């Protein structure tokens, strides 16, 4: 049953308006683009609140979430704050009767995800996370080639990786306790891609990590992100995903994904793809450009879900999957053993 008669009736706001990428402005602009009505911004920095007022004249501004929840009639809030605050803020907003979208990652731990999902279900409110990259051209093209064109046969292994050489940055994303670790930024995007491609239930996760090399050279010291971390996910169909991010890899592969099928291999980065096939002694390479990304589909689905009852694409259960993997990988790395997946 739709909650709102039309898109413009959905009053929206953001928690957090700072950051290097002007994410508060981005989210409100995208929500406005699909017809929702921006009404509220909460931000600790008074300078950023002034910027929000300039960007959206007449918008309500608050310096605390509690004030905003008491004084504003906002219906839907997008949380754009450090990763370790997502769950607490989401539950606070849900308890106040507001629907919630978190920036990715959904949260840091499985327990946080489950608490958020319980609260949303209890109050029959929307809960999602901003997986706009679900519609990145690289994965849209990969899905077309692999499943519609059947270009590589049966998928049985995905290697996803990103790396370089250098210490964690000075902003909060370099802190393990705040960010979740080296796998929680782009790694969440990569897992979301991979879980679209590997179409089977997860069974178990193994985690590996190297720490301590950059710590003394970082402002975060012992709380620095891992130097390198890996999550290996086994699936019911026998396939597996190998996700590795590194800050000690000067010769890291430039391609993001290598998807191994029974007939050929599919490789992609942000712009291009290659299909590599053997024909006798000859290697045949087919290459192309990825289809354009369609990030606008995220908020279009949100507004259609709330005003027309359209099925939600990025459900909280879907958003939980990559976080559960990363949480288990962290625990597995500490325990030195593989851990079983628990579905919700």
pLDDT tens-digit series, residues 190-234: 999 999 999 999 999 999 999 999 999 999 999 999 999 999 999
Domain holding 169, by residue range, is 134-292
Confidence band (pLDDT; 50, 70, 90) for 11? very high
In a domain, 326, yes or no: no
Q: Do residues 12 and 76 lie in contact, with contact meaning Cβ atoms separated by under 8 Å? A: yes
Residue 20's pLDDT is: 64
pLDDT for 2 beyond 70:
no
Nearby residues of 157 by Cβ (< 8 Å), 6 or more positions away: 239, 240, 241, 242, 259, 260
Same domain, 173 and 118: no
Residue 1's pLDDT is: 47
CATH number at residue 283: 3.30.360.10
**Section 91-98 average pLDDT:** 98
Under DSSP, is residue 114 helix (H, G, I), strand (E, B) or coil? helix
| pTM score of the predicted model | 0.95
Same domain, 236 and 259: yes
pLDDT mean across residues, the chain: 96
In a domain, 334, yes or no: no
Residue 188's pLDDT is: 97
Sign of torsion over alpha carbons 302, 306, 310, 313: positive
Same domain, 101 and 164: no
In a domain, 288, yes or no: yes
Q: Do residues 13 and 40 lie in contact, with contact meaning Cβ atoms separated by under 8 Å? A: yes
Better pLDDT: 169 or 34: 34
In a domain, 31, yes or no: yes
Residue 22's pLDDT is: 87
In a domain, 117, yes or no: yes
How many residues in the chain?
344
**Section 317-335 average pLDDT:** 98
pLDDT for 152 beyond 90:
yes
Same domain, 61 and 104: yes
């Amino acid at each position: 049953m739709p909650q709102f008669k039309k898109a413009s009736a959905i009053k929206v706001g953001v928690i957090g308006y700072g950051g290097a990428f002007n994410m508060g402005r981005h989210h409100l602009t995208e929500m406005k683009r699909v017809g929702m009505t921006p009404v509220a911004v909460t931000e600790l920095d008074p300078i950023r609140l002034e910027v929000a007022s300039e960007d959206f004249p007449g918008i309500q501004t608050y310096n605390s979430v509690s004030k905003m929840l008491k004084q504003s009639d906002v219906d839907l809030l997008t949380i754009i704050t450090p990763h370790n605050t997502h769950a607490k803020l989401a539950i606070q907003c849900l308890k106040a009767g507001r629907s919630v979208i978190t920036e990715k990652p959904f949260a840091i731990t499985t327990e946080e995800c489950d608490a958020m999902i319980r609260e949303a279900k209890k109050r029959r409110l929307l809960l999602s996370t901003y997986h706009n990259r679900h519609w990145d051209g690289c994965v849209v093209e990969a899905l077309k080639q692999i499943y519609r064109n059947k270009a590589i046969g049966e998928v049985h292994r995905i290697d996803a990786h990103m790396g370089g050489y250098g210490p964690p940055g000075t902003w909060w994303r370099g802190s393990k306790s705040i960010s979740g670790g080296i796998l929680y930024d782009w790694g969440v995007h990569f897992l979301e891609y991979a879980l679209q491609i590997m179409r089977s239930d997860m069974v178990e996760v193994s985690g590996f990590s190297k720490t301590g090399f950059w710590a003394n050279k970082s402002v975060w010291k012992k709380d620095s992100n891992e130097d390198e971390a890996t999550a290996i996910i086994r699936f019911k169909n026998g396939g597996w995903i190998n996700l590795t991010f590194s800050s000690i890899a000067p010769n890291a592969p430039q391609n993001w994904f290598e998807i191994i099928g029974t007939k050929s291999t599919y490789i992609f980065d942000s712009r291009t793809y290659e299909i590599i096939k053997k024909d006798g002694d000859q290697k045949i390479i087919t290459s192309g450009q990825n289809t354009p990304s369609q990030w606008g589909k995220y908020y279009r689905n949100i507004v259609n879900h709330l005003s027309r009852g359209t099925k939600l694409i990025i459900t909280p259960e879907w958003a939980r999957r990559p976080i559960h993997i990363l949480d288990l990988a962290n625990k597995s790395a500490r325990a030195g053993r593989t851990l079983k997946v628990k579905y919700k």
